[in-house]
Every structure is written in C-alpha cells, then in structure tokens.
Amino acid sequence: MAKKTVATLKSGTGRSFTKVIKMVKSPKTGAYSFKTEVVHNDHVKDFLKEN
C-alpha cells in the first residue's frame, strides 16, 4: 500500500493537494479542537475562511 501512495505522489497529481489544519473554538465549552482536511491548492483560502 505504501508503494502505491509513493507512485501516486510521483505522478504529479498529489502535489496539487495540501493538508490543512484549522483550529476551531467550540461555542459550548470554549475549548479548541482541530479540523484537518486535504484540499486542492486552489481552495485552501476558502477552507480557512469558512466557519
């Protein structure tokens, strides 16, 4: 399975995606949690702007 992942990244399609980690504050407790998602490079700013 690891070989398949490496082969996919070498093809160039994996370079157009970014793993984005966003810190989100809970409205109930006030504690922070992390929202992690893999998004296309063109949509990183949109992901960070959304609530």
Residue % of the chain over a pLDDT of 90: 51
Mean pLDDT of 4-12: 53
Confidence at residue 3, expressed as pLDDT on a 0 to 100 scale: 55
- The answer to whether 47 touches 37, Cβ cutoff 8 Å, is yes
User: What's the 3-state SS for 8-29?
Assistant: HHHCCCHHHEEEEEEEEECCCC
The amino acid present at 48, given as its one-letter code, is: L
Positive or negative torsion for Cα 29, 31, 36, 37: positive
